[in-house]
Amino acid sequence: MLTRELNSGFLIGAAIGSGSNALAVERGGADFLLAINAGRLRNMGVPSIASMLPVLDANALTEDFAREELLALCRKPVLIGVNVWGREFEPAAQAVAIAEAGFAGAVNFPSCMHYSRPMQQILSRAGRGIEQEVALLKAVQDAGMMSMFYCSSRTQARLAADAGLDLVCLNIGWNVGGAVGHRSRSTIEEVAMEAREIGRLIKRINPNTRFLLEGGPIAAPEDLSRVLSLAPLDGYVGGSTIDRLPLESSVASMIDGFRQASMRPTRLDRESHDLVNWSKQYGFVGQSESHVAMLRRLRALSTARDPILIVAEPGQDSLPAVRALGAIKARSRSLNMIQIDVAEQGLPARARNVLFGHRDSSATRPPVLADPAVEIVVIHAPERLTQALQRRLARALKDGIFRMAGSRRSLKIEPRIVLLCNFYVGEETSGEDLLGAGLDPELSSYMAGWTLHLPPLRDRVSDLALLIEGKKAKNEPLIQNQLEFSTAALQKLQAHDWPGNEAELYTILGRLAGRPSSLPVQPDELVPLLQSATTVGQQQNGRSEKDLIIDALWRNGFSRSKAAGALGISRKTLYNKIKKFGLSG
């Protein structure tokens, strides 16, 4: 019999519905193919359960596609699905027809085993039940072909084993998962327990019968591995798990790829392309319009020696800009940079002595502002210096010289000075905002023409895909090749307000690392992460609630449902706030 041609190890059967999928599973190493009407219907876009409905002649549908697409293309044994519900029941004649058509054997499908027990009993009394399915397969086997019997209970399995059928496959229900899949009713452990008991029964009756499993919660190879750890099996038959689920995920993934390609920034002109390439050496990532505009100004400022004020929001990475500003002096060497964080200084006097020096310490350590070995000095949070010290700094920067405390000698400012303010500030009202944040009017006025605003992430969301790839590349193997985003998830990220900027993005990537699923990240996984970040960000950037609502509405195409989701509030709450702030128009 043809069953002897199958390997003696673990068998893999594939119930497929098209020639293209047949070639794929054959290349993948399947041992045999099943041509059943459920497979053909799956390829027509309807659920497998439609195979049990009187919508098409099951035998005719199966035989047509099996002849044209499977037998004509495949070398592996093909078992054709047969049923006993026709007007005539002639097992011997049907077996001859199966052999003449060139099939290697048969399988009982569609089968009575999918019906309820009362329905099965009615069909049995009418001479079209499980017993007749076993008799038909026995006739096929007696004609020298291979037979596989689908069963769903111990009683059915016993009938097949008593008849000495080649293969018995326990079908544990329609496959779960995918776009049209069923919900699981049984756990993997429950399935394994049932398979172990039925498998033992079959082997006691007929040790030569090979026992296989199909359906239910087994949706991936790891699910089968869990079953095998609890129950011995001779093989596995995949229907939707081989014929539908991989197609859905691979096609969806490919469409995702094309969609994400369309979401990337448009082609840059030559000048913008040069700017982006120039910026990469300093650690910049991105090519959005606002980002390129910032790079254009940064490159112009980098050629000068004048002091620079960088304004960035909390969570933004300002180090690439600092590197670019110090590149002229550093050339190919590493940049000799000193960073002074006023927010961490214990006393304003300490910051004063570090910057301007003191007569008592000048012999051993020159003031930072006059140290020729230092190429760039970054003063973080200059607004926290005393007003008097800020005015002194403004005059020193303006004159290019300063007088050390306790001394009449004037010293030249040697390094390039970069002031770095971290708080939310609007481009149009930057002067007022800087004053409100504590920057002295004299210092703010002097730096007005030499201020560089780093665009926040919410203004360059088209760079998200590039930023994610950049973060992944820097953190291999933590998240590289393990974290992909679906198109819907990327759209969710682009609609987010990003109050924490790049730092928030990095935090989210870190929380997603090591997630159990290898499939692309879906929007529902991001909701709790983005909502918590929004709450923190509102406290950080100080924007009004009205501004946040307007921004969320704009970013979500004025869809109130999506805006409410992005803000982490209910639609009813959003409606009330829209009414409160007079935004209903």
Tell me the per-residue pLDDT of 448-472, one tens digit each, with 9 for 90 and over. Answer: 889 999 999 999 988 988 898 887 6
**Does residue 148 sit in the same domain as residue 73?**
yes
Of 235, 251, 267, the residue at which a domain comes to its end is: 251
Mean of the per-residue pLDDT values of the chain: 80
| Residue 138 clears pLDDT 70, i.e. is over it | yes
The pLDDT, as a whole number, for residue 429 is 46
The pLDDT, as a whole number, for residue 525 is 85
The pLDDT, as a whole number, for residue 397 is 93
The pLDDT, as a whole number, for residue 360 is 67
| Residue 269 clears pLDDT 60, i.e. is over it | yes
**Does residue 489 sit in the same domain as residue 355?**
no
The pLDDT, as a whole number, for residue 290 is 92
Local confidence band at 4 (pLDDT 50, 70, 90 cut-offs): very low
Of 428, 453, 478, the residue at which a domain comes to its end is: 453
Structure confidence by residue, pLDDT tens digits, 221-247: 888 888 888 888 999 998 777 766 666
The pLDDT, as a whole number, for residue 177 is 46
Domain-located, residue 261: no
The pLDDT, as a whole number, for residue 166 is 93
**Does residue 404 sit in the same domain as residue 494?**
no
Give the side-chain half-sphere CA count within 13 A for 91: 19
Which is higher by pLDDT, 132 or 490? 132
| Residue 331 clears pLDDT 60, i.e. is over it | no
**Does residue 237 sit in the same domain as residue 314?**
no
**Does residue 186 sit in the same domain as residue 240?**
yes
Domain-located, residue 547: yes
Domain count, the chain: 3
Domain-located, residue 82: yes
**Mutual orientation of helices 464-474 and 501-512 as an angle, nearest 10°?**
60
**Does residue 495 sit in the same domain as residue 419?**
no
Domain of residue 24, CATH code: 3.20.20.70
**Does residue 25 sit in the same domain as residue 150?**
yes
Most confident option among 171-180, 393-402, 431-440: 393-402
Please report, as a single letter, which amino acid is at residue 202. Answer: I
Local confidence band at 408 (pLDDT 50, 70, 90 cut-offs): confident
| Residue 54 clears pLDDT 70, i.e. is over it | no
The pLDDT, as a whole number, for residue 154 is 92
Please report, as a single letter, which amino acid is at residue 480. Answer: Q
Structure confidence by residue, pLDDT tens digits, 473-524: 665 555 545 678 887 888 888 888 888 899 999 889 888 887 877 778 888 8
Ramachandran assignment for 50, one of left (phi > 0), alpha (psi -120 to 50 degrees), beta (any other): alpha
Tell me the C-alpha distance between 51 and 540, whole Å.
Answer: 58
Domain-located, residue 293: no
**Does residue 334 sit in the same domain as residue 445?**
yes
**Does residue 119 sit in the same domain as residue 153?**
yes
Question: Measuring CA to CA, which residue among 493, 494, 471, 501 is closest to residue 483?
Answer: 471
For the segment 159-184, the average pLDDT, to the nearest whole number, is 74
Looking at 133-147, 449-463, 563-577, which range is the least confident one? 563-577
Domain-located, residue 241: yes
Question: Measuring CA to CA, which residue among 239, 170, 237 is closest to residue 32?
Answer: 237
pTM over 0.75: no
Percent of the chain with pLDDT over 90: 29
Contact 451, 430 (CB under 8 A): yes
The pLDDT, as a whole number, for residue 133 is 93
Most confident option among 9-18, 310-319, 484-493: 310-319
For the segment 19-33, the average pLDDT, to the nearest whole number, is 83
Domain-located, residue 262: no
Local confidence band at 95 (pLDDT 50, 70, 90 cut-offs): very high
Local confidence band at 335 (pLDDT 50, 70, 90 cut-offs): confident
Residue 163 sits in which domain range? 10-251
Domain-located, residue 37: yes
Of 392, 425, 453, the residue at which a domain comes to its end is: 453
Structure confidence by residue, pLDDT tens digits, 177-221: 444 344 445 788 888 889 999 999 999 999 999 999 998 788 778
Which is higher by pLDDT, 498 or 432? 498
Looking at 161-170, 245-254, 302-311, 341-350, which range is the least confident one? 245-254
**Does residue 346 sit in the same domain as residue 314?**
yes
Domain of residue 377, CATH code: 3.40.50.300
**Does residue 545 sit in the same domain as residue 504?**
yes
**Does residue 358 sit in the same domain as residue 218?**
no
| Residue 71 clears pLDDT 50, i.e. is over it | yes
For the segment 327-339, the average pLDDT, to the nearest whole number, is 68
| Residue 252 clears pLDDT 80, i.e. is over it | no
Which is higher by pLDDT, 568 or 77? 77
For the segment 3-10, the average pLDDT, to the nearest whole number, is 69
Strand ranges inside 184-313, DSSP E: 210-214, 235-238, 308-312
Ramachandran assignment for 314, one of left (phi > 0), alpha (psi -120 to 50 degrees), beta (any other): beta
The pLDDT, as a whole number, for residue 43 is 64
Question: Measuring CA to CA, which residue among 162, 145, 150, 152 is closest to residue 209?
Answer: 162
Local confidence band at 263 (pLDDT 50, 70, 90 cut-offs): low
The pLDDT, as a whole number, for residue 188 is 84
Domain-located, residue 486: yes
